[in-house]
């Protein structure tokens, strides 16, 4: 007979109370000591049950304050397809506009940063070659929803008006448009999404729970000559964003 372990039983009790609207979104649960006494079990069993529900996004723990029923917030839809590139304006802002949200970002650019080994490999240049590195923090209605670190070979844009991705007359229109301005035609992008857990720093920047699930996308843009022109590491929290790829089928 497969008897359920106590902590799973308690998890079901908590889940059911939420389903029955005994506790609703945003409510603070009684303290662990109270729940433990009420259910006649150890305090640690309650903790395990709550940890489980927190990892599933049902609850939310706030240190020093209490355990709360998670608010079911609307997830931001991030579309990744060829149609996303607009002749003007940024892809991200287009995503946000489609949702009726205001898209913003903050960025910090540094020139002549030596390429680390992995980045050099992705850009097809030698390790240590100078790059332009830009760190982005994307905001939807003021809340951070996406992080990105972009790398471009310095040699590619040195001396042109588009050296700085977020400066000059072509600021904030995306890689494809910027490269077009200096005569480089971007023909395709390769994206490699990988599931992992957020680092402590990412969790703090994104305002999500520690070790929450994120999708880490390694994206590289290629020119029509097949040369990499930009590569980026993009971090998207699963709880707040859904990622959509649209793939045309050619026959």
Q: How many residues form the binding site for its own copies (CB under 8 A)?
A: 36
75 contact choice in its own copies, DNA, none (CB below 5 to 8 Å, kind-dependent): none
3-state secondary structure 101-155: CCEEEEEEEEEEEECCHHHHHHHCCCCCCEEEEEEEEEEECCEEEEEEEEEEEHH
Residues with Cβ within 8 Å of residue 21, at least 6 apart in sequence: none
Residue 20 tokens read as 């029955």
- Indicate the residue among 41 and 58 with the shorter CB distance to DNA: 41
End-to-end CA distance of the chain: 55
**Binding residues for its own copies restricted to 172-191, rule: CB under 8 A:** 176, 180, 185-191
44 versus 81: smaller Cβ distance to DNA: 44
Nearer CB in complex with DNA: 5/168:
5
* Position among 12, 25, 38, 42 found at the interface with DNA (CB under 7 A): 42
Among positions 54, 132, 184, 214, the unique one binding its own copies when judged by CB under 8 A: 214
CA distance 212 to 93: 25
Who's near 159: CB < 8 A, 6+ residues apart?
none
Q: Which of the stretches 42-50, 105-113, 190-198, 218-226 binds DNA when contact is defined by CB under 7 A? A: 42-50
> If 0-12 CB within 10 Å is exposed, 13-18 middle and 19+ buried, where does residue 27 land?
middle
In the complex with DNA, which residue's Cβ is closer, 61 or 124? 61
- Cα-based distances in Å from 68 to 54, 61, 177, 199, 244: 9, 6, 45, 23, 30
- Residue 150: count other Cβ atoms within 10 Å of its Cβ: 22
Q: With binding defined as CB under 8 A, does residue 158 bind its own copies?
A: no
Q: Are 187 and 223 in contact (CB under 8 A)?
A: yes
Closest approach of Cβ 204 to its own copies, in Å?
A: 16
Which among 57-65, 115-123, 138-146, 212-220 is the span making contact with DNA, rule CB under 7 A?
57-65
Taking CB within 5 to 8 Å according to partner kind, which of DNA, its own copies, none is near residue 251? its own copies
Residues that bind DNA (CB under 7 A): 5-8, 29, 31-34, 41-45, 47-48, 50-51, 54, 61-67, 210
Interface residues with its own copies (CB under 8 A) are 80-83, 85, 87, 176, 180, 185-197, 213-215, 221, 238, 242-251
């Amino acid at each position: 007979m497969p008897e359920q372990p106590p902590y799973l039983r308690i998890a079901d009790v908590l889940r059911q109370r939420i389903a029955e609207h005994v506790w609703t979104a945003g409510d603070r649960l009684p303290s662990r000591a109270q729940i433990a006494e009420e259910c006649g079990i150890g305090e640690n069993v309650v903790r395990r049950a709550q940890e489980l529900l927190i990892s599933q996004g049902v609850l939310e723990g706030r240190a020093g304050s209490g355990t709360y029923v998670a608010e079911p917030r609307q997830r931001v839809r991030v579309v990744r397809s060829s149609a996303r590139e607009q002749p003007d304006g940024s892809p991200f802002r287009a995503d946000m506009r489609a949702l009726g949200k205001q898209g913003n970002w903050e960025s910090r650019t540094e020139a002549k940063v030596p390429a680390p080994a992995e980045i050099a490999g992705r850009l097809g240049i030698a390790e240590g070659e100078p790059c332009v590195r830009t760190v982005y923090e994307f905001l939807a209605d003021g809340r951070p929803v996406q992080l990105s670190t972009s790398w471009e070979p310095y040699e590619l844009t040195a001396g042109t008006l588009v050296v700085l991705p977020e400066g000059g007359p072509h600021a904030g229109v995306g890689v494809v448009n910027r490269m077009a301005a200096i005569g480089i035609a971007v023909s395709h992008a390769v994206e490699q999404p990988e599931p992992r857990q957020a680092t402590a720093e990412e969790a703090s920047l994104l305002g999500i729970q520690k070790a929450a699930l994120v999708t880490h996308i390694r994206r590289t843009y290629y020119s029509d000559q097949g040369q990499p022109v930009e590569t980026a590491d993009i971090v998207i929290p699963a709880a707040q964003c859904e990622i959509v790829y649209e793939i045309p089928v050619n026959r």
